[in-house]
Amino acid sequence: MIAAHLPVLQIVVPLVAAPFCLLLRRGTWAWILSSIVCLAALVIAATLLSQVLESGPISYELGGWAPPWGIEYRVDVLNAFLLLIVSATGAIVLPYARRSVAHEIPESQHGGFYTALLLCFTGLLGVAITGDAFNLFVFLEISSLSSYVLIAMGRDRRALTAAFQYLVMGTIGATFIVIGIGLLYMATGTLNMADLGARLPAVGANRTVLAAFAFLTVGATLKLALFPLHFWLPNAYAYAPSVVTAFLAATATKVSIYILLRFFFTIFGPTFAAEDITLQRLVVPLAVIAVLVCSTVAIFQSNVKRMLAYSSIAQIGYMMIGIGFDTVTGLTAGIVHLFNHAATKGGLFLALGCVVLRIGSCQLDDLAGLGRRMPLTMFSFVLGGLSLIGVPLTAGFVSKWYLVQAAIEQDNWLVAVAILVGSLLAIIYVWRVVEVAYLRPAPEGTPAGGIEAPWSMLVPTWILIGASIYFGIETSLNVGVASAAARFLLGVAG
Amino acid sequence: MIASFSPGLILIVGGLLIPLFRGRARQLFMLALPVLGAAQLLGLSNGLHGQIEIFDYTLTFVRADRLSFVFGLIFLIASFYNTIYSLHENDTMQQVAAPIYAGAAIGAVYAGDLITLFIFWEITAVSSVFLIWARRTAKAYAVGMRYLIIQVGSGVILLAGIILRTQETGSIAFEHIGTTDLAGWLILIAFGIKAAFPFLHNWLQDAYPEATVTGTVVLSAFTTKLAVYVLARGFAGTELLIYVGAVMTAFPVFFAVIENDLRRVLAFSLNNQVGFMVAGIGVGTSLALNGAVAHAFVHIIYKSLLFMSMGAVLHRVGTIKASELGGLYRSMPITTVFCIIGAASITAFPLFSGYIAKSLTLSATAEGGYVVAWLILVFASAGVLEHSGIKIPYFAFFAHDSGKRCQEAPGNMLIAMAIAAFLSVAIGVYPDMLYAILPFPVDYQPYTVSHVLSQLQLLLFAMLAFAILVRTGLYPKEIPSTNLNTDWIYRKALPVLLLWLGNAVEAMRRGAAARAQRRLERFILQVYRHHGPAGIMARTWQTGHTVLWVALLLGAYLLVYFL
């Protein structure tokens, strides 16, 4: 009985729980409630994924209204994977949140914080699960508005301006998406995405459809921070509370990439395959520039959180390179990297949150000698860094391996070289942290003895870092599902 | 198959466990690692073991055959006496790094596929740099950094080659590669960096002499010989390598004579020795490959012996500059004897280990009809006598008395040197011990009258010349000349020219390096201007500007789609 309603429970449970967090007022209770909710969401997502892998896409009619008139929740391999990423990140980050939030956010705002976090969580899950284009926009706005609130809660006063800039840019992005959806509705008279995909080929690539495509492309690339529309991201990540940064870095941009995939391949795919409009010449060059420029910028950053933010933009570049190739290998690489990077970067930001908890700063110079004082935290950072570089036996290597394969498959040597150069740049920016933490002595007058982070924060950090190692060795889950999703998107059998 | 994992793994895992032990227990544990590794090595039956499925590919951690056996064995022997040599040290960083480095080298030797090779390749790079940093000076840090960048760079090139090759052949097997395509060239360059091919060699003389006393000994054994192994595996019979090897044997001679730091002299001579092996691989016949492998085997032992004796001097006296040493035979008689045994081995005196290996390569080169290469190799053999055979022991232990008095080397160092010296002599006297384990059946008799006589002729004339020069006071003090034996082979004028040439090349190299550095600095400054915190790429933009970008991109996309 319940099993049949899992798709809607995935959304309804956190949505209903969110206002309760506000009512509970006391931070601890709100934290317990949201932890339970996230855990429940993870169980639901895992069940959905295994169902989809077993018996194909699941369609759920909301309120009993049959699609395409009613809203449909449609779970296939791709978004089941996304649901898993988002809910797993939520379930791992929340146990971590209690100490970190207690340290970084005033007691009186705790209820509001968990409310916003759950709403954001709901929104991201909703974007992933819905099969209705307009519904997607609604959930996107839910997640975006709550993330503006979350970012603005950062201790640094610059968090306010960062959140404001993100608000302006995010709203423009969402508006573009809704304009695109509106134009599509005008052309086809339907909002159901599967239905859109079926009807568009009959309409053909007329001006309205092309304009819709352009608006959707720009809107989505703005939300996912593809160069040069990434300028909102570094500040937002750098000044947000640690928990929020880790959560958003692992989920928000990934969900935006999902939106792009959905629009490109499910809706426009069949039409444009016939009309010979390729992504390659538009997206790939920008993505390559993102990799090179933002990795270089990351090298010169003095704030480690900001450095990781720039590294995120570069990593998004890798994903977009894979997606832009428009082949099974390329898409597999992009989707695998989406997963691997969520684990790696989430873990790195969590490790950084531990540092902030203990020394109150994430300026590079303040990390001196931390390798001895916080051995577990810094070692997790090193491992995460290795995955970011793409050292063999880490998840990062797996994604880059597929990505380079995809580039070579297309004889695109420049891109293959750019990917390797990006890895070299990553070595440099990761090394700067390692060097300061391990080889530079702690400043004079620092009390001796360890200041390791509490277990409640170390364990989630290590789960994510461990995942970024584990999925570099045992790749059946990430690569298996990603290649299934890639074949599904391209409509290739097998 | 639990039982058939790579012997290297024992050293790597064991190395990581070393910090758990203290004092005597730690020493015993460190000594046990190579012994356990050897037990594992001897227990492996030939064939493929330890295969792991990993995303579409089968990684083969153990490929046991005769070639990997020889290298695995000598790496373990080296690791064993290196451990003894460094027992007096109590530096956890080195104690952990050394077995991991050795284990990674053994793991690479046993790697049955290119990806496994790449993994261990990178572990050797990363673990070995700590032996340099362990000296804990600012200079050692900078040198280590340069070393690391080059080593990791070699790994990146290797990876690029591997990916290309996999793409073309669909297989990650590590078999003969050859230089038929770009992938082969990339892999060859990666190997060449580790083997210190000419123009790719600077890291070696840069880094090795800056490592710790014990670190240099460890470093000298593994990296370049690992490269010899992979070359033998992947590029046997590539004719280019004959000439590369010949150049490698010859050019370090010029640098070695003008060098004052005796450990750096040995680093140059290391280069020269690897040249012999590379040339042997290039010839590629079974005799030549046997020669290269045998040479690698004995070379590890006697080169370690020389580095150990110089390390003992550095340990006791605190300097290793030729100009500040001399007369130490009074203080360190046993070390002197060991050093002379090492010198006799490297100069290929009959009854010492170098002789039975080098003659294989030389004979194979001659049989193959590579006259020019053969001549260069002979010249280089004579050069070896000068810079390693005579210069090292003469300036350290004899020459003019520096007046320095010190203790004999510590007991553990002496034991380690004794083991290496014993092996050098034993292999020299009973070559069949070594010949029996070479990859191909050996049908070669080193101790025939003509072989021994021609070698002795070369060596004795060179020594006679040396004696005469010293007696008559013609032997220059500051610049020991290259040409003790060239009276016999070359005209007198040539040495002067060579010396001048060596200096000129060195000056040019320095000039080019300085220019390159200036250019690099300017480039980084330029990058910083745009990408640094205040650069246009990293500034926090005003919202309005960003929105402008959005509009521009929308326009661009519309334009592209509509056209």
- The percentage of residues in chain B with a pLDDT greater than 90, rounded to a whole number, is 14
Q: What is the dihedral of CA B425, B429, B430, B435, to 10 degrees?
A: 80
Residue matched to tokens 């995939």: A261
B chain contacts of residue A300, beta-carbon cutoff 8 Å: 528, 531-533, 535, 538
Whole-angstrom distance, CA of residue B61 vs CA of residue B111: 5
In this complex, is the C-beta atom of B142 within 8 Å of any C-beta atom belonging to chain A?
A: no
Q: Residue B243 contacts by C-beta under 8 Å, 6 or more apart in sequence?
A: B282, B373
Count of CB atoms situated within 10 Å of the CB of A264: 21
B470-491 residues labelled b (16+ CB within 10 A) or e (exposed)? eeeeebeeeebbbbbbbbeebe
Q: What is the pLDDT of residues B257-293, one digit of tens each?
A: 677 788 888 888 888 889 889 998 988 888 888 989 9
Q: Name the more confident of B532 and A46.
A: A46
pLDDT digits (tens, 9 = 90+) for B326-341: 788 888 889 999 999 9
In the prediction, which pLDDT does A255 show? 93
Contacts of A176 in chain B (CB under 8 A): 550, 554
Which site among B158, B537, B559 would you substitute to test the A interface, given the most A Cβ atoms closer than 10 Å to its Cβ? B537
Length of chain B in terms of residues written: 563
For residue B386, list its beta bridge partners: none
Residues of B with Cβ-Cβ distance to A210 under 8 angstroms: 558, 561-562
In tens, the pLDDT along B367-420 reads: 888 888 888 888 777 777 777 777 788 878 887 777 777 888 888 899 999 999
Contacts of A221 in chain B (CB under 8 A): 553
Angle at B14 between CA B10 and CA B15, to 5 degrees: 120
Pairs of residues, one from chain A and one from chain B, whose beta carbons lie less than 8 Å apart: 103
R_g of chain B computed on alpha carbons: 25
Residue B523 at interface with chain A, using a CB cutoff of 8 Å: no
CA dist list (Å): B21 to A114, B14, B27, B82, B136: 47, 11, 9, 19, 23
Bridge partner residues of A192 (DSSP): A132
**Higher per-residue pLDDT: B438 or B461:** B438
Q: What is the mean pLDDT of residues B204-231?
A: 88
- Rounded to 5°, the CA angle B246-B249-B255 comes to 135
State the residue for tokens 């995942």.
A467
- Inter-chain CB proximity A392 and B115 less than 8 Å: yes
Looking at the DSSP bridge assignments, the partners of residue A75 are A58
Q: Measured between alpha carbons, how far is A131 from A11 in angstroms, rounded to an integer?
A: 13
A320 conformational bin, left if phi > 0, alpha if psi -120 to 50, beta if neither:
alpha
Residue B206's pLDDT is what?
82
Percent of chain B with pLDDT over 70: 91
Gap between the Cα atoms of B267 and B343, Å rounded: 14
The DSSP secondary structure of A316-364, one letter per residue, reads HHHHHHHHHH-SHHHHHHHHHHHHHHHHHHHHHHHHHHHHHHHHS--BG
How distant is the Cα of A67 from the closest Cα of chain B, in angstroms?
Answer: 31
Q: What's phi and psi for A114, nearest 5 deg?
A: -70, -35
Task: Give the CB-side neighbour count of residue A209, counting CA atoms within 13 A.
Answer: 22
B161-178 average pLDDT score: 84
CB spacing of A229 vs B549 below 8 angstroms: yes
Tokens of A59: 């369609």
- Looking at CA atoms only, how far is residue B556 from chain A in angstroms? 9
DSSP state, B63?
E
Nearest to B379 by CA among B257, B490, B466, B506: B490
- Calculate how close chain A gets to B533, using CA atoms only, in Å: 6
Residues of A in contact with B528 (CB under 8 A): 300
State residue A305's pLDDT score. 92
CA-based end-to-end distance of chain A:
31
Query: For residues A152 and A233, is the Cβ–Cβ distance under 8 A?
Result: no
Q: Coil, strand or helix: which one is A131? A: coil
What CA–CA distance (Å, rounded) separates B140 from A66? 72
Let me know: does A14 contact A118? Beta carbons within 8 Å: yes
What global pTM score does this model have?
0.72
Q: Distance, in angstroms, between A95 CA and closest chain B CA?
A: 32
Mutation target among A171, A229, A297, A383 for the B interface, most CBs of B within 10 A: A297
Please list, residue by residue across A183-217, b when 16 or more beta carbons sit within 10 angstroms of its beta carbon and e when fewer do: bbeebbebbbbbbbbebbbeeebeeebbbbbbbbb
Q: How many CB atoms lie within 10 A of CB B431?
A: 24
Task: State the average pLDDT for chain B.
Answer: 82
- Going by C-alpha positions, the residue among A263, A253, A166 that lies closest to residue A213 is A263
Cβ A479–B55 below 8 Å, yes or no?
Answer: yes
Residue A83: predicted pLDDT: 93
Facing residue for B533 by CB, picked from A172, A300, A393? A300
Three-state secondary-structure class, residue A66: coil
* Distance from the B542 Cα atom to the nearest Cα atom in chain A, whole angstroms: 8
Considering only CB atoms, A302 lies closest to which of B152, B533, B553, namely B533
Task: Considering only the beta carbons, identify the residue of A169, A214, A300 that sits closest to B561.
Answer: A214
- Chain B nearest-CA residue for A409: B167
CA B480 to chain centroid, in Å, comes to 25
Output the DSSP codes for A377-406.
HHHHHHHHHHHHHT-TTSHHHHHHHHHHHH
Q: Is B152 on the interface with A (CB under 8 A)?
A: yes
pLDDT score recorded for residue B478 = 41
Q: Please tell me the number of Cα atoms within 13 Å of B562 on its side-chain side.
A: 11
Q: Is A439 helix (H, G, I), strand (E, B) or coil?
A: helix
User: What is the pLDDT confidence band of residue B447, given thresholds at 50, 70 and 90?
Assistant: confident
- Across the interface, whether the CB atoms of A408 and B163 are under 8 A apart is answered yes
* Closest chain B CA to residue A419: B160
Using DSSP, how many helices (H) and how many strands (E) does chain A show?
20, 2
Q: Average pLDDT in the B502-521 region? A: 77
CB-nearest to B561 from A221, A277, A473 is: A277
Q: Are A245 and A349 in contact (CB under 8 A)?
A: yes
Chosen for mutation from B124, B129, B540 (greatest number of chain A CBs closer than 10 Å) is: B540
Kindly identify which residue of chain B lies nearest to residue A277, measuring between CA atoms.
B561
Q: Which helix (H) or strand (E) holds B122?
A: helix B114-133
- Report CB contact under 8 Å: A282, B163: no
pLDDT score of B1: 39
Residues of B in contact with A296 (CB under 8 A): 527, 531, 537
Q: For residue B482, what pLDDT band results from cuts at 50, 70 and 90?
A: very low
d(CA B281, CA B235): 7
Residues of A in contact with B549 (CB under 8 A): 228-229, 231
Q: Which residues of B touch A271 (CB under 8 A)?
A: none
Burial of A494 (0-12, 13-18, 19+ CB in 10 A): exposed
pLDDT means per 10 residues, chain A with 494 residues, are: 81 89 82 92 92 87 81 89 93 91 87 91 93 92 93 87 90 92 90 87 82 88 87 89 93 92 83 60 86 90 91 93 87 92 94 90 87 88 91 87 88 87 89 87 76 89 92 84 87 65
Per CB-CB distance under 8 Å, the chain B contacts of A214 are: 554, 557-558, 561
Handedness of CA A220, A222, A223, A224 (dihedral sign): positive
Q: What whole-number distance in Å separates Cα of residue B60 and Cα of residue B117?
A: 9
B182 touches chain A (CB under 8 A): no
**What's the CA dihedral at A375, A380, A382, A385 to 10 degrees?**
-160
Question: ω before A441 within 30° of 0 (cis)?
Answer: no
